[in-house]
Structure 1
Amino acid sequence: MTSQLQTRFLITRLSAIGDCVLTMPMACALRDAFPQAWIGWLAEAPGASLLQGHAALDEVIVAPRRVLQDPVELWKLRGKLRTYKIDITLDPQGLTKSSVLGWLTGAKQRIGFHSPVGREISRWFNNCKITSRQSHVVDRYRELLSVLDIQPGKVRFDVPRQPGATQVMAQWLKEQNLTTQAFAIINAGAGWDSKVWLPERYAAVSRHLLAKHGLPTVVVWAGDREEGWAKEVVAGSQQAARMAPNTTLPELAALSRHARLFVGSDTGPLHLAAAVGVPCAGVYGPTNPAECGPYGSVHRSVQTFLQKGSVKERRKAENVAMQAVTVEQVSAACDQVMENSRASRAAA
């Protein structure tokens, strides 16, 4: 290996938002081990906006979406990546697109996973592979560092604080009289239809949070479909909930830092909230919270049963596992999170 001062690393975690968040501890541990090295991260635009300014990174390189399907854009990106003279790539995503782009950098050492974590044809393009023995993806991604003889310390996310986003959300909280008022956040959105929990159930949870804990709810959203669901939650909340403004990811991080509790399914906003220190209650159906639940012992995940099948099959599955989760189960999880949170604050 080249000297620590000269080593140039590139993380190829392109998407999705939640997985970019869950990869941040790997970047932190890499920076701790190589404080003088150059560390870059290749990501698509949504995740890249959240990574800008991260203390572990020297640069965030934005990859066009579906770049493998556009030969002209792929050739341009290859040329750009070659200028960085990357020594080592790390591929926590384990897919064709992430491994191919790592290979196109010209890096001699390309670290990734053996099957089944390394999927599609990533095993052909990553030339230094490990067999994962960890369950949760945060710990699994950090396993890649064992190739570099790194033993990571305590998990840190170090989600960047972007001043503009902080100011925008501080002003909104002031307008809503929530600057000193504790509140919860609900996100009814989901990237897969099979991860969606009904808006009327989230509305019932918001009513429970106000009645039992005195917590009003802010409903966050992104895009037209989620905005519609958010409006349904607010309409059914009997004034227990209010709509958040349309937020960028950095603004969502800034808003979440003020919340006492976050409730949502296995999505980017849930993992972002956990990463900035908000206790979470996760609603799970087609994914396994042992692998991708909000990271840490303060959180609770609710699941009635895990849908079976490959990732692609579960993504396209009918929304049966999520609908098997009841309002009572999620409300009880919220109560437990709130009680544990109160006990922790009292002990502090």
Structure 2
Amino acid sequence: MNDSGVKPRRILIVKLSAVGDVVHALPALNALRTCFPEATIGWVAHPGPASLLEGHPQLDYLYKFPRPRGVKEALSSVKNLRKALCDAGPWDVAIDFQGLTKSGLVSWLSGARQRIGFQGAASREVNALFMTTRVPTTAESVIHMNLQLLAPLGCHATEARAVLIAHEDDREYIRRWAEDFGFTGERFFVLDSFAGWETKRWPRARWVRVAAEVHKQYGLPTLLFHGPGEQEEAHQLAAEISDSGGTAVVAPKTTLRQYIALLEQHAALMAGGDTGPMHIAAALGIPTVALFGSSCSRRNAPAFSNARFEAIQDFSQPCAGTFWRKCSHHAPGHCMDGITEAEVLEAVARLLCS
């Protein structure tokens, strides 16, 4: 129920990007569907992360809002989104999990009379101007901050469950890959050594030694996940791991949903930085080692209810917790130098031997 005691019938979620942030908001979707099983629920997201939500069983509408390139394209995108939201019928409430000017604008475009957003530091730029209800959150974890945004609706959720889906054609794509390369039934140490921010990358040589040791101790070959433009570097990393006594193969090119299917069928362990692929793995309950550089593990740790994870961060570094994309204190890719290979392997042991 909302502040007036009326159950909302039409709820719009606004979380535009990025992939990990959308995964962080999935427990709020699950809570809304649990609290209001008869409600119509929509979601506005940028096209990339929106692919996680296509055909989602807890959603009724999905709106893809392109990232505009220039003023003319921005005005066209806003006009098209406004029409699509209005054509679907009036929205009772919009919940802005992004906390930015653009997400506030999207919430306002929905026409919802109640627009719920963050109060305090999580409300950035001029987002507050678009909100009718601002919620002071007390949780340190962003996943639980998102759940606290539901309080004005009378939805007080504690379970942080993210529902992630792969379609049958996604699973079939992975099955065919496994059959073609002789990996049917094989379980891997899935490694995502890449990140869009240089402040979220761990030195490659350390991943090489960790992968070799994981193979030696646990018999797990490494499966190297990669995104667009990263395949060549992934092949180089595979060769270095093999030269160091490990076994490594490069994962097939995948969409996000195919990546979910890949994890479901082949992951025994996952490791990576603070990225979408890491959060997806943790949300699926796969043992996950998460390394943090300039972002904050207290805020961004994958604290899903079913997650088995170890978060590692060196808070003595001046960039830790700043969320800097570029660092003035370290050379590119060296913000996590304070994290040792021994720490990572100890985390692996706790996850696999517990």
TM-score (norm 2): 0.90
CA deviations over 1:56-80 (Å, ceiling 9, x no partner): 1111110011379422222222222
Which of 321, 334, 338 is matched with 1:324 structurally?
338
**Deviation digits for residues 64-113 of structure 1 (CA, Å, limit 9, x no counterpart):** 11379422222222222222321100111111111111111111000000
Contact 1:26 1:142 in 2 (8 A): yes
The match for 1:28 is 30
| Contact 1:112–1:129 under 8 Å retained in 2 | yes
Kept in 1: contact 2:288–2:310 (CA 8 A): yes
Aligned-residue offset at 1:175: 3.0
Q: Of 210, 218, 239, which residue of structure 2 is paired with 1:213? A: 218
Question: Whole-Å Cα distance in 1 between the matches of residues 338 and 315 of structure 2?
Answer: 8
Aligned 8 A contact 1:265 1:284 in 2? yes
The Cα shift of 1:234 comes to: 0.4
Aligned to 1:300: 310
Q: Which of residues 124, 128, 131 is equivalent to 1:126?
A: 131
Could you tell me which of 147, 154, 163 is aligned with 1:158?
163
Instruction: Give every structure 1 segment of 4 or more consecutive aligned residues whose post-TM-superposition deviation is greater than 4 Å.
Output: 1-4, 306-313
SS in 2 for 1:232: helix
Residue type matched to 1:27 in 2?
L
Equivalent-residue separation in structure 2 for 1:308 and 1:68 (angstroms)? 36
**How far apart, in 2, do the equivalents of 1:308 and 1:112 lie?**
30
Identify the residue that residue 52 of structure 2 maps to in structure 1.
50
* Partner Cα distance (1:254, 1:171) in 2: 12
| Cα separation, 2, equivalents of 1:305 and 1:262 | 23
Q: Which residue of 2 aligns with 1:17?
A: 19
Q: Is the 8 A contact 2:289 2:311 kept in 1?
A: yes
User: Partners of 2:344 and 2:282 in 1: how far apart?
Assistant: 17
Number of equivalences? 338
Consecutive unaligned residues of structure 1, counting only runs of 5 or more, are: 341-348
User: Where do 1:129-148 residues align within 5 Å?
Assistant: 129-148=134-153
* Aligned-partner SS, 1:180: coil
Matched, 1:81 2:85: yes
* Letter aligned with residue 58 of structure 1: D
In the other structure, the counterpart of 1:227 is 231
Deviation at 1:307, TM superposition (A): 5.1
Matched residue type, 2:269? L
Q: Which runs of 5+ in 2 are unaligned?
A: none
Question: Of 270, 277, 298, which aligns to 1:290?
Answer: 298
SS in 1 for 2:303: coil
User: What is the aligned partner in structure 2 of residue 167 from structure 1?
Assistant: 172
Superposition deviation, residue 321 in structure 1: 2.5
Task: Answer whether contact 1:67 1:74 (CA < 8 A) is retained.
Answer: no
Q: Is contact 2:19-2:48 (8 Å) kept? A: yes
Counterpart position of 1:64: 66
Structure 1 vs Structure 2: percent identity of aligned residues?
A: 32
The whole-number CA distance in structure 2 between the counterparts of 1:83 and 1:30 is: 23
Shift of 1:208: 0.9
User: Does structure 1 conserve the Cα–Cα contact (< 8 Å) formed by 2:189 and 2:223?
Assistant: yes
1:181-260 alignment, distance < 5 Å: 181-224=186-229, 226-238=230-242, 239-258=246-265, 259-260=267-268
Q: Could you say which structure has the higher helix fraction?
A: 1
Structure 1 residues 98 and 310: CA distance shift in structure 2, 3 A: farther
Q: Cα gap change, 1:230/1:24 in structure 2, threshold over 3 Å: closer, same or farther?
A: same
